[in-house]
Amino acid sequence: MIFVKLAVVAWILFFIVRFFVASQISNIERLSIALNGEMKMTPGRVILFLIFLAAVGLTVASIIWFLFFSGVI
C-alpha cells in the first residue's frame, strides 16, 4: 500500500515541478525548441526527468502490488 501512496505523491510532485520548469522557459527558448528541436538541459529539467522516472517506477510497482499481493487474482 505504501507504493500507491508514494506514487500519488510522486505524480503530484511531478506536476508541481513541471509547472515551475515550464514557467521558466522564455519565448526565445520556445522558438528555438520549435525550430531546432534541441533544448538545453537545465538542472530543473534534470530534476523533472528524475521525478518522472520515479513516478513511473512507483506506478508500475503499485500495479504489480495491486495485481499480485492484494488478493484480486
Q: Look at residue 73 and tell me whether its pLDDT is greater than 70.
A: no
Q: Domain limits of the chain?
A: 2-69
Write the CB contacts of 29 (distance below 8 Å, at least 6 apart in sequence).
39, 40
Per-residue pLDDT tens over the stretch 33-54: 888 888 888 899 999 999 999 9
How high is the pLDDT of residue 30?
Answer: 85
**pTM (two decimals):** 0.80
Is the distance from CB of 55 to CB of 7 less than 8 angstroms?
yes
What backbone phi and psi angles, to 5 degrees, belong to 2?
Answer: -65, -30
Per-residue pLDDT tens over the stretch 52-62: 999 999 999 99
